[in-house]
Structure 1
C-alpha cells in the first residue's frame, strides 16, 4: 500500500511553533517514504474558529514550502457524511442517544458510566450520540514509543460522536475522513495520544484496517505549558521562515549540518526529507521549545 500521511490543523488561530513541529514531522515522514502528504482543515467547531484562519494556515504552509498533494478537505463540508454514518450505527444499535450532562458525569467520578446505554432514548430532547464501545482498546503500538497503555476507565467509556449542541465530535470525523482519504499513518502531537483507542474502535466498527500511529513530542514553553493557541503561543513569521524552520527541525532531533544553515528553503526541506529518521526523534513525549 502506498503511504498517505496528513496534517490536519484546527482553524482556531494561526500556526505556531508547536503546529510547525507537527506539520514537519508528518511531512518528512510522508516524503521520506515517497508518499502523499495531505492537508485537511478540521473546522468542526465554529465558535472556536478565527475568521480567516484557514487561509492564513495555508499561506503559512506555503511560506515554509510545505506543499501538499491533492485538494484541501474541509470538515465543515462533510457533515452529511458524518450524519449518515451516525444514523447507520443508531439503527444497528452500535450508537445511542444520551441525555447526560457534563455536570452529571463529573458528579459520577468524571467518566461516563453507561447511564443511557439501554434507555432507548429518542432525540426529541437535547441529546448527544454515544458510540457503544464493544471491546475496550487498552493499548496501541506507536511507531517510535512502542506499546502505549490507555487507562481502563477511558478505554471502557462509551464516547460521544455527536455533541448535544449538534456539532460532530473530533473522534468520529477524523476517522471517517482518514478512511475516505486513504491515510495509512497518522503523525501528530503527543497531546492526541489519549483518544487513539477510541479511534481504533471506530476503525473496527467500519471494518477497516486501522492506521499506524506516530506521536511527536509536545513543544512546551519555559513554564512547562504546551505551546497552543489557548496559551497564546506566538504566530509563525511567514516573512522570515528559515530560522524557525531550523529550530523546529532541531526540536525533532535533526543534527543540522553547517552547510544547511546557509541553504535556501527548498534545499533545507529536501535535506530534511533525505535525512529524516524515527531513531533521531527524542524519546520524551514533551520538551521545552527553543525558537
Structure 2
C-alpha cells in the first residue's frame, strides 16, 4: 500500500479505538463491522505474541517443544483464556459504544436495538472462551448464547424489512431489519428491494440471503465434541465468517448509496442546455453597483 493509504488506515483504526468521543459516520461503523468479523484473528494475536516470546523464531511447527505452546499459550490455558476473550470482545465493544453515541445524537430507539446486538455478541464470545477453558460444563450455556445471538443478528442484519433505518424514521418494529432492506413490497423480484444496483445479477441476492443465514449459525459445527479437531473447526468458522462479510459489504454499501439518493444526500449536477454570457459574480457585482447608484440618487 502507498504511504498515504497506510496512514489513512491507521487514523481510521485509531478513531475506531476511541469510539464514542466523536460523531459516528458511516465509514466508522462500516470499519467496526469489518473488525467484528475478524474477532477470531484478533483474539489469536495473543497466541502469536506468546509463542514467539516463549519459543523464539528458530523452532519448527513440528518440534515437540513448540507443540507445548498449545497448552501454555492456547485458549485452554488458565493464564491465556482471559486475553483471548478480551481481544475478541474489543470489536464488539467498539460497535456497542458507537451505537450508543448514535442514539445520543439521533434519539432513534433503533440504535439501542443495534447496541443490543453487539452486547449479545460480547456475551457469546465470552461464553465461548469460557467454554473452551472450562470444558463441557459450560457447553450448553454457549449453545444458548450463540442461538440468541444468531437469531438477533439475522433479524437485524439480513433483511425482511419495509425500509432502511438510514432512510426512514420508522418505529423500531418496522425498521428492525435494516442493513440490506430486502423484502420490500411491490418489488420486481420477490423478497428483494424495489431498487437494485446489480439488476443483472439478481440471483446473487438470493444466494446472499441464504448463505448469510446459514453462516450466522456456523457455530453449530462445535456441537461435535471431539476436542482433537476443535482448532480446525474454529478456523473454518472464522474463514466462512470473513466470506460472509465480503458479500455483506456489497449489499450494505449498495443500500447506503440508495438511501443517500432517496434522502437527496447526494446529487449529480446536470449541464443546462444553454450558457450564461456573463459570469455570475460579475453580474451580481453590476446589480449591486446599480442599486447603490439608485440609493445615492435618492439621497441627493
TM-score, scaled to structure 2? 0.22
Larger Rg: 1 or 2? 2
In proportion to residue count, which structure has more strand? 1
Bigger RCO (CA 8 Å, 6+ sep):
1
Q: TM-score, normalised by structure 1?
A: 0.22
Question: Normalized per residue, which structure has more helix?
Answer: 2
